[in-house]
Amino acid sequence: MPDPLSALAELVAGGGVAVLSGAGLSTESGIPDYRGPTGAARKFAPMTYQTFTRDAAARQRYWARSHVGWRVIGRAEPNAGHRAVADLQRAGLVSAVLTQNVDGLHQAAGARDVVELHGNIDRVVCLDCGQTTRRAELDSRLRVANPTFAALAAAVNPDGDVDLADADVAVFRPVDCARCRAGVLKPDVVFFGESVPAERVDRCFAAVGAARALLVLGSSLTVMSGRRFVLRAAKLGIPVAIVNQGPTRGDAYATVRIDAPLGTALPALTQSLRSSVP
């Protein structure tokens, strides 16, 4: 019986692989996950869509914390796992890259046509007029509006949020949309309690349905947002491989299961595939 890495290499070598990635793929870039080894020790309440849209004080708190945390996300670089996925796509073995992450690191590593299931923290949308702008533009406006704001954070959360003292939050001044002058700005990401746009979900289902195999990378599959694609693959008889540190809620459906850091396992996979080519 082949070892798990050899079994994974054999599965990927056939091509037509849809990749579904989660926060565990980005931990080695300095972005912690929610439920894996880097996130388990932290306790915080992620912002919900309902709270953000209804409570001005909650928006002030979010933008103060996110203003600090985004600088960490913005400086993050792709790691060996991201580069391996891009390499597999360039080699014609990966047919689709679907991600639950909002950090844009797949694209920074060279992956193409990435479906960002939960959006991208690098974009900002006005909930009133619908204009989308770059996060760097908002960062500049917030710096001007808060010239003396110098709060620091010890750790950043996967969505770019951080924990700040109430005193720091109280002096922070958010800004409204620069186009319509009064619109509420929100990061172009799916908050807890918010639905993923149906078009994105449909694209992911289509990619999984057309794939020869589904490869899950760095996701605990705790929430249905990602697990539903594993369930669809299993229903269609499409092999599922999972590489993740710690158990996942999709393990029962996996034909190949590897428990290892992504930055180690994926380069080993690409090297194995190169070695097997005559």
Question: Which residue, chain included where needed, has tokens 């309690």?
Answer: 193
CA gap 166, 169 in Å, rounded: 5
223 among the known binding-site residues? no
Contacts of 80 (CB under 8 A, 6+ apart): 28, 263, 264, 266, 267
Confirm whether 82 is a catalytic residue: no
Computed over its alpha carbons, how large is the radius of gyration of the chain? 20
Are 218 and 262 within 8 A, CB to CB? yes
Catalytic residue among 67, 82, 106, 118: 118
Instruction: Tell whether residue 102 is among the known ligand binding residues.
Output: yes
> Is residue 262 annotated as involved in ligand binding?
yes
Q: Is the dihedral of CA 255, 81, 111, 134 positive or negative?
A: positive
HEC sequence for 151-196: CCCCCECCCCCECCCHHHHHCCCCCCCCCCCCCCEEEEECCECCCC
Q: Which residue type is seen at 122?
A: D
On whether the CB atoms of residues 36 and 246 are closer than 8 A, the answer is yes
Pairing relation of β-strands 213-217 and 240-243?
parallel
| Cα-Cα end-to-end distance for the chain | 23
Measured at the CA of 203, the angle between CA 25 and CA 47, to 5 degrees, comes to: 55
Tell me if 180 is assigned to a ligand binding site: yes
How far, in Å, CA of 273 to CA of 278, rounded? 10
204 is in an annotated binding site: no
Residue 87, annotated as binding a ligand: no
157 marked as part of a ligand binding site = no
**Residue 124, beta-bridge partner list:** 133, 187
Phi first, then psi: give them for residue 195, nearest 5 degrees: -85, 140
Annotated binding site for Zn(2+): 126, 129, 177, 180
Annotated binding site for NAD(+): 100-103, 218-220, 244-246, 262
**Which amino acids are annotated catalytic?**
118
Annotated binding site: 100-103, 126, 129, 177, 180, 218-220, 244-246, 262
